[in-house]
Amino acid sequence: MAANDLTVAGRRFRTRADYEAALRDQKKIEAIKSKVNLNDPKQLYKLFGELKNGSYRFETPVGNDFDDGIYEKIENLKKQGITAENAGSPPKKKRGAKSGKPPKQKKAGEKASKNVRLEDYDKEMQKQILGELKKREKRRKLIVALASMVAVCSFAYFGVYYFYSARTNMEYEQLAALKGSEALPDKQEKNEVAIHKQTVKLPDVLDEYKTLYNKNKRLIGWLKIDDTIIDYPVMQTINNEYYLDHNFNQEYDKNGSLFLDYNCTAYPRSTNMIIYGHHMKSGQMFGQLQKYAKQSYGEKHAYIQFDTIYEKATYQVMYVFRSQVYNENDIVFKYYQFIDANSEEEFNSYMSEMAALSLYDTGVTASYGDILLTLSTCDNSQADGRFVVVAKRIK
C-alpha cells in the first residue's frame, strides 16, 4: 500500500487522523465478527441490540457501513417472520403433522365446559366484575381514540407531503413549458451590476429564458441532466437561506428550489458555480443526486446542462465525493468556499483535494482557467454530511 493511500474498506480518507480512526473501526468490526456468527439470527439480534444501546461506538463511515449492514440483515429476518423472540427456536409443527399421532379426539359423551354466568356470583362479586369490565371498556375506547388520532395525523402528514410534491411537479412542468415561449412584456431596467466596486454591463437575457425571467427576476439559470428528474430553474438571492423553503413563485414549499450560492456570479462566471438543493425522499430537487456514488451511473450521466440566463453551457462530471459542513475555525478543505481561484497554485490545490476525496476516477481533469460546476446536497452518512458532484465546462 502506498504511503499516501489512506483507504480503508473501500473508503478514502483525507487526513491521517481520519484514516487511523477508520482502522480502529475496522479492528472493532473484525473483533465482532470473530465472536459473532452473523448467520445465526439469535446472535445477530443480540448484536443489533448492543449496537442500538451504544455498546460499540464507531468513529467513521467504515463503522457506519457495518452498522447499516447489520440493520439490513435484521430487516431481512423480519420479512421472513424471524423476530428477536423466536430467533433460534425450531419451527413450530402443525398439530398432528409428521408426529405419527392423530389429533386428540373428544371422548364420546364428553361434556363441554360449563358456561359461567354473571348471576352465578354473589352481588359483591358481580359489582367487582362489572367495574372491571367498565374499566376495560374505557381503556379500549381510549386506545381506539388515540389510534384514530395517530392515523388521522399520519394521513394528514402524508397528504400534505404529497400535496407539496404533486404541486411542485406540476409547477415545474409548467415552468419548463415556458422556456422558449414568447416573452412577457419586460420593464426597461439598467442592464448592469456592480462587481468588485466596478460597474459591469450585463449581456441580454437569452430569449429562451425571458418569459421566466420576467415572472421572477431572481431566476439565474436552468439545470438539466438527461434521463433524470433533474430539470429545474436555478434561483439566486442575497443569501443561501430563502430558497431552502420557497419555490419559483416565492411560495412556502418544503421542497425549496435549486439555488446558486449567493457569492457566485453568473456574468462573468465565477471559477466554480455552486448549486444547492434538498435531498428529497420523493426524488425531487437533488433527491437522486446520490446515484452518482455508483461509477456506472456516473458514466451514463456524465454530462450536465447548466445555462445561466445569459449563456448556455455543458459540463462533464469530474469528481464525486462526500464531505461535510465544518466549523468555521476548522483548518480543512471546505469545497463550499471554493468560488474563485486567485492563482494557478490555488486552483491546483483545490483540484488535488477533490481528487483525493473522489469516490472513483472519471479520467476528467481541469486546468487553471477552466470553469467548474458543483452540485451539493445533504448526505445522512455523517453529521452535517454533504454529497457533492463537480463537473468541468466543456462547451
The percentage of residues in the chain with a pLDDT greater than 90, rounded to a whole number, is: 42
| Span 60-74, average pLDDT | 85
Fold exhibited by the domain 172-393: Sortase; Chain: A; (2.40.260)
Residue 305 makes CB contacts below 8 A (sequence gap 6+) with 222, 223, 224, 225, 226, 312, 313, 314, 315
| Span 144-150, average pLDDT | 80
Closest CA to 21 of 32, 9, 33: 9
Residue 109 makes CB contacts below 8 A (sequence gap 6+) with none
- The more confidently predicted of residues 150 and 363 is 363
| Span 128-154, average pLDDT | 79
Residue 313 has pLDDT above 90, yes or no: yes
Per-residue pLDDT tens over the stretch 202-247: 889 999 999 999 999 999 999 999 999 899 999 999 999 999 999 9
State the pTM of this model: 0.57
Residue 183 has pLDDT above 70, yes or no: no
CA R_g for the chain: 31
Per-residue pLDDT tens over the stretch 235-294: 999 999 999 999 999 888 888 999 999 999 998 899 999 999 999 887 888 989 999 999
Identity of the highest mean pLDDT range in 80-84, 165-169, 306-310: 306-310
DSSP string covering 157-178, please?
HHHHHHHHHHHHHHHHHHHHHH
Give the chain's mean pLDDT: 82
Per-residue pLDDT tens over the stretch 355-380: 999 999 999 999 999 999 999 999 98
Residue 299 has pLDDT above 60, yes or no: yes
- What are the domain boundaries of the chain? 7-79, 172-393
Rounded to an integer, what distance in angstroms lies between the CA atom of residue 320 and that of residue 17?
Answer: 22
Phi-psi region of 93 (alpha: psi -120 to 50; beta: other; left: phi over 0): beta
| Span 163-184, average pLDDT | 61
Q: In terms of residues, how long is the chain?
A: 395
Alpha helices in the chain (DSSP H): 16-35, 41-52, 61-79, 123-178, 207-215, 295-300, 344-357
Per-residue pLDDT at 109: 45
CA atoms within 13 A on the CB side of 323: 26
Residue with cell 356470583: 121
Band of pLDDT at residue 77, cut at 50, 70 and 90: confident
